[in-house]
Structure 1
């Protein structure tokens, strides 16, 4: 199998690791609509700031979110370029792998 893109494996691993936690997926869902500060995220998700900060750190390390500071508040938004990178990685499986029909499991006896 020949790869057409060279995506750094660490970005793929950290990206999918970040997506493996339901709370982090919930954060991403909230950020689909608009940029939000930590206080808004805490209120919407009903979690403590310390718990949320840990998950935001994981999302930032995976480059799935961007942070900008305005005064004493940090605002988070989606880093869509990183989502495109993960999509490209998954698309390679579809492009280079034969798609086989699902096997029917039945008892012929």
Structure 2
């Protein structure tokens, strides 16, 4: 699940779907990406069961499958706000330090 959210495009799709349903065509227009790119990322999110589709005629409207995802992202934002610099400077996971 976390790997699926680690990509900036997938995260942008999730954040957009947090505001309501959207078709791939809507996401393409809003994100400024190719249709094939958006479709591939939506498929990934669907495979992870984070996004669900609702067919309407020949179109599919996508939405978040679980509202808890928004709570998770809100918690991550709070944690990053509280520890952002510490995470960036962490010797185990932050930017590599030059050799002294």
TM range (shorter): 0.5 to 0.7
Contact 1:64 1:82 in 2 (8 A): no
What are structure 2's unaligned runs of at least 5 residues?
73-85, 87-100
Contact 1:39 1:49 in 2 (8 A): yes
Contact 1:63 1:82 in 2 (8 A): no
RMSD (Å) for aligned C-alpha atoms = 2.2
Name 2:48's counterpart in structure 1. 62
1:29 to 15, 38, 50: 15
Describe the SS at the equivalent of 1:63.
coil
- Could you tell me the TM-score, scaled by structure 2's length? 0.66
Q: How many residues matched?
A: 74
- Could you tell me the TM-score, scaled by structure 1's length? 0.61
What are structure 1's unaligned runs of at least 5 residues?
1-14, 88-101, 103-109
Describe the SS at the equivalent of 2:49.
coil
Name 1:43's counterpart in structure 2. 29
